[in-house]
Structures are given as structure tokens and as C-alpha cells.
């Protein structure tokens, strides 16, 4: 590449240039860069808002659709959000900074079995994705089983998510990640997890062969933004720092304390995520203990469970018993009576609840 400056511009048509110039310069606030010929102008170049346009009389191109991004939508173009230029170019005025949209969960009972051979989709940075909640409960949550078959360095970039809650749980293998204000590399081993608070910069660096993680995102559709000007690692910041009210939580399996689960017959290790998110979400890992588990109901808005190891039978009121094994996931709506039966000695469940400070009623 040469050091000579290079510009790019979009070509737009016009029937009469003098009709379009006031719209683009006054209404949209763009700057006229050049215009010709002098006696009867038919071509003009304008710049503004990170964009360069060439408006040319008789150009055989569509009029196009411009999107102008600003966080002062009400103060731009007299508050108009949809405009049309004399030459037919559509202009939309939209927010610059993405916002987290609240999506009301559409409750359902659903089971997703690994044996059903749901397709793996190749997504960002070459990672393979498997959707664990196909309906995504109306767009309120996405639960992904992610794997990187080959391992090694991951072609990731520093980025962040505009999201309400996000969990990365290392299911198999290990993965090296960098997080804003969290010091040097963090290696997640199987059973470890982190939260990715809204807006925290991070980057996946390297992974073991056949690494597998479970990723939870709320809502299902959220914006990922690449930050080309941020470098990781960036040192250790304030440990108590919050991103939209949430702290960074790094739960290490080997340091965990096992305690009785909220349902008898099981034991659990809490990840500290309920506290770190101020109740937004609760994440627990559950194992078998002594005794049989009674039926129960819950009042969580979203309650998702992934079977990490072992097997069990899920009994849900109004549905036939479901035999579950490692790799399966299920969603139980609030108020539905369920029971965990015949758990194997090696059963291990990942429970995800939103909110995390929900109640359980034993039956």
C-alpha cells in the first residue's frame, strides 16, 4: 500500500443538483467539497458524519438509503427520523450507541437432546455453535453450546457486547481469555466460568483442542462491537468496578464450596454470580447427594438446565418422562411441577436462572 491518501465515496443520482444541495448541506449538515462545471453544476462531492458522497446528474445508479447515527436523534434534522432527499435517497436517523432491549420471555417447556443431531453452525472467529433453546423463548435468551475442534490460537479481536447478562462456562478443555481491568491472561479450565458484564472489553486468545463452552446471552440478539483502539491486557483496575451495575465474576471450580442444593437429594456449588450481578442471574453446578428429590416448582422468569455429565429422568407435569444424558438441555417455565428422577452417580447439571434470587416450592 502507498502512503498516498485514498478516499472512497458513494455515488448518488440526481435530476437537478441545485434541488439536492440544500437538503444534504442544510438538513443533513454535510459539507460541500467540490462542484463542477461552474456555469451549470451537475456534479458535487460532499462529506460529513464519516461519509463522502458524489451526487451526479444522470448517474445510472439507485438513489440509495443512508443511515445517520447519532445519540441526539431528537436534535438532528429537527427530530425527523425518516427523510427523503429530492433525488429519492432515503435517510434514516438512528441511535449511535446500541441499547439493551428488554424482551419479555415467552414461557415454554422444552427439551433439546444432543442425540437429535441439531446442526452445528460456524460462527464468529471460526467457532462452531449449537443452539440449546431453539425458540430462544421469544428472543429473551440464547444458550449456545460452542466448540473449537482444532484448538490453538483463536483469531479473535478485542470486542464487547451490548447485553443484559452473559455467561461463559468452560465445559470441556481449557481456554485463555483476556478481560478489561483483570490483569494478565485468565485460563478457564473445565468447570470454571466467568461473567462478561455489559461493555467489558475482552478477547479469546487460545484454546485447547476440542474445547467446549456453554454461553448464555440475554437477550438473544445483542450487538457485538469491535474496539480497534483498545489493547489487552490493560492492567488491573478497580476490583469493585461495575459495568451497568455488574461486576466481573471469575468462578474457579477447584476453590468452590459444595452446599446442600435448594432441592433435597442434590448438592451444589454457587458461582457467586447472583451477588456479582445483583440478582440479575444465578448460576449453580449441581451434583447428586443422598436421598430422593421431591417434585418442585419455581418462580424464575427463565430457568434453563444443561446436563454436563451423567443421566437422569426429567418428569414434568403434563409431559411424558424424558430420559436425559450429557449434552442435553431443558427449559422449565415458572409454576410447572417437575421432578429429577433416577440421577446417575456422576450426574452434573449446570443451572441458569434469571433472576438469580428466585424461589422454589417443594411439593
Per-residue pLDDT reduced to its tens digit, 258-314: 999 999 999 999 999 999 999 999 999 999 999 999 999 999 999 999 999 999 999
Question: Residues of CATH 3.10.180.10 domain(s) within the chain?
Answer: 10-94
Confidence of residue 118 (pLDDT cuts 50, 70, 90): low
For 308-321, how does the pLDDT look when each residue is reduced to its tens digit (9 = 90+)?
999 999 999 999 89
With a pLDDT cut of 70, the percent of the chain lying above it is 98
For cell 494478565, the residue is 184
Provide CATH code, domain 117-251: 2.60.120.10
Amino acid 192: pLDDT? 97
For 4-25, how does the pLDDT look when each residue is reduced to its tens digit (9 = 90+)?
889 899 999 999 999 999 999 9
Q: Which CATH number fits domain 255-362: 3.90.1150.10, 3.40.1350.10, 1.10.10.1200, 2.60.120.10?
A: 2.60.120.10
Element (H, E) at 188: strand 186-189
Residues 10-94: name the CATH superfamily.
2,3-Dihydroxybiphenyl 1,2-Dioxygenase, domain 1 (3.10.180.10)
Rounded Cα distance between 157 and 204, Å, is 8
Question: Residues of CATH 2.60.120.10 domain(s) within the chain?
Answer: 117-251, 255-362
Confidence of residue 1 (pLDDT cuts 50, 70, 90): low
Confidence of residue 232 (pLDDT cuts 50, 70, 90): very high
For residues 206-217, average pLDDT:
94
pTM for the predicted model, two decimal places: 0.87
Rounded Cα distance between 38 and 159, Å, is 48
Confidence of residue 198 (pLDDT cuts 50, 70, 90): very high
- Number of helical H runs and strand E runs in the chain: 2, 32
Confidence of residue 80 (pLDDT cuts 50, 70, 90): very high
Amino acid at each position: 500500500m502507498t502512503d498516498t491518501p485514498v478516499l472512497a465515496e458513494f455515488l448518488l443520482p440526481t435530476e437537478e443538483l441545485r434541488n439536492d444541495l440544500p437538503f444534504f448541506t442544510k438538513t443533513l449538515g454535510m459539507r460541500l467539497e467540490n462542484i463542477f462545471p461552474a456555469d451549470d453544476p451537475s456534479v458535487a462531492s460532499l462529506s460529513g458524519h464519516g461519509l463522502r458522497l458524489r451526487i451526479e446528474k444522470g448517474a445510472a445508479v439507485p438513489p440509495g438509503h443512508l443511515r445517520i447515527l447519532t445519540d441526539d436523534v431528537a436534535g438532528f434534522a429537527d427530530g425527523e427520523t425518516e427523510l427523503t432527499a429530492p433525488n429519492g435517497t432515503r435517510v434514516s436517523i438512528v441511535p449511535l450507541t446500541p441499547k439493551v432491549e428488554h424482551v419479555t420471555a415467552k414461557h415454554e417447556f422444552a427439551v433439546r437432546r444432543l442425540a437429535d443431531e441439531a446442526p452445528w453452525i460456524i460462527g464468529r472467529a471460526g467457532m462452531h455453535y449449537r443452539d440449546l433453546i431453539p425458540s430462544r423463548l421469544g428472543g429473551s435468551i440464547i444458550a449456545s453450546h460452542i466448540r473449537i475442534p482444532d484448538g490453538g490460537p483463536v483469531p479473535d479481536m478485542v470486542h464487547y457486547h451490548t447485553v443484559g447478562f452473559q455467561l461463559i462456562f468452560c465445559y470441556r478443555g481449557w481456554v485463555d481469555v483476556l478481560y478489561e481491568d483483570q490483569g494478565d491472561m485468565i485460563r478457564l479450565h473445565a468447570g470454571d466460568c466467568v461473567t462478561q458484564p455489559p461493555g467489558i472489553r475482552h478477547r479469546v486468545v487460545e484454546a485447547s483442542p476440542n474445547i467446549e463452552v456453554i454461553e448464555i446471552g440475554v437477550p438473544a440478539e445483542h450487538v457485538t462491537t469491535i474496539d480497534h483502539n483498545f489493547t489487552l491486557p490493560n492492567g488491573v483496575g478497580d476490583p469493585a468496578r461495575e459495568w451497568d451495575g455488574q461486576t466481573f465474576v471469575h468462578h474457579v471450580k477447584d476453590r468452590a464450596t459444595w452446599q446442600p442444593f435448594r432441592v433435597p437429594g442434590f448438592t451444589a456449588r454457587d458461582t457467586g454470580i447472583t451477588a456479582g450481578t445483583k440478582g440479575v442471574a444465578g448460576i449453580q453446578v449441581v451434583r447428586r447427594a443422598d436421598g430422593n428429590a421431591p417434585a418442585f416448582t419455581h418462580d424464575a422468569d427463565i430457568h434453563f438446565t444443561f446436563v454436563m455429565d451423567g443421566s437422569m429422568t426429567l418428569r414434568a407435569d403434563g409431559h411424558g418422562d424424558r430420559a436425559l444424558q450429557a449434552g442435553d438441555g431443558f427449559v422449565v417455565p415458572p409454576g410447572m411441577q417437575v421432578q429429577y428422577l433416577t440421577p446417575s452417580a456422576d450426574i452434573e447439571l449446570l443451572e441458569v436462572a434469571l433472576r438469580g434470587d428466585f424461589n422454589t416450592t417443594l411439593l
